Amino acid sequence: MPASSALRFQIERSLEHRFPAALTPSPRTIREVAPTGIGEVDALLDGGLPVGAISELVGPESSGRTSLALSFVAQRTESEQVCAWVDADDTLDPESAAASGVALKRLLWVRCRNADREVKARPWTRLDQALRAADLLLQVGGFAAIVLDLGNVMPQHGNRIPLATWFRFRQAADRSRCCLVVLGKAAYARSSAAVTLECMPLREHNVGETVLRGFSYEAQRRRERFPQFSPGARKSPASTWSVSATWERERQA
């Protein structure tokens, strides 16, 4: 037996009553994920968004981030789980959510507004409301997924969110086994996020010059704290998917 192996064996034997297998690394485990309902994105993420963690969907307006989040919430509510949508700028369209398959009776919609609609308050006011609401919902527990929609928040305001806030959110999501999905123009959670997807628009699908049939989007992994273990497998760094317009889905049905 080599000298290093013998020394390790002696140390573990001396510590086995207090610290079993002190020098033996824990086996690598596959993190639990929840499907988004979009096959191309699920393949990119090895099954879906991580459970009990923060996922960020970032990109400009009309980049597909909201469509992706709605598809994910639809999957969770379809399995009779309760979700929440914390809307920092009160922009969620319930009709579009329902058309995407979201069961509205199992969705809590938190709408952040200015106290006085006639007075233009600073954007930080609504952002603070959204963060407080998300914090409360995470601490209460019982939600399979919480979407923190900061899509219209300017990056200079989103970057002011303290790292301690994201760390607290990460701990609460892990404890309650909740998927916290953050929508934004930029990545704000930084090291607290388990996955960051950058969404981008590709093209519109039209019939003639006036009828819109849908959109195509692309998603790229920008961060992954817990990559799934697939020996010998190399994943594509991006995926593309298409979303049909509401009236086109109704016509196909």
User: HEC states along the chain?
Assistant: CCHHHHHHHHHHHHHCCCCCCCCCCCCCCCCCEECCCCHHHHHHCCCCEECCCEEEEECCCCCCHHHHHHHHHHHHHHCCCCEEEEECCCCCCHHHHHHCCCCHHHEEEEECCCCCCCCCCCHHHHHHHHHHHHHHHHHHCCCCEEEEEECCCCHHHHCCCCHHHHHHHHHHHHHHCCEEEEEECCCCCHHHEEEEEEEEEEEEEEECCCEEEEEEEEEEEEEECCCCCCCCCCCCCEEEEEEECHHHHHHHC
pLDDT confidence of residue 216: 74
Give the chain's domain count. 1
In a domain, 158, yes or no: yes
Does residue 85 register a pLDDT over 90? yes
Reported as a single tens digit per residue, the pLDDT across 176-198 is: 999 999 999 999 999 999 999 99
Report the range of poorest mean pLDDT among 95-99, 217-221, 225-229.
Answer: 225-229
Please report, rounded to a whole number, the percentage of residues in the chain having pLDDT higher than 70. 67
* Mean of pLDDT values over 203-228: 60
Query: How do residues 37-65 score in pLDDT, each as one tens digit?
Result: 998 899 888 899 999 999 999 999 888 89
The answer as to whether 21 is a domain residue is no
> What pLDDT, on the 0 to 100 scale, is given for residue 79?
93
Does any domain span residue 97?
yes
66 lies in some domain: yes
**102 lies in some domain:** yes
Instruction: For residue 3, tell me if it sits in a domain.
Output: no
Show the domain range for 228. 30-252
CATH number at residue 170: 3.40.50.300
Tell me, what's the pLDDT at 203? 58
pLDDT attached to residue 8: 62
Query: pTM for the complete prediction?
Result: 0.76
Q: Is the pLDDT of residue 212 over 50?
A: no
Question: Taking 50 as the threshold, does the pLDDT of residue 249 lie above it?
Answer: no
Considering the chain, what is the average pLDDT of its residues? Answer: 80
Q: Please check the confidence at residue 120 and state whether its pLDDT lies above 80.
A: no
- Residues 14-45 have pLDDT tens digits of 655 555 544 455 444 468 999 999 988 998 88
Q: Is the pLDDT of residue 221 over 60?
A: yes
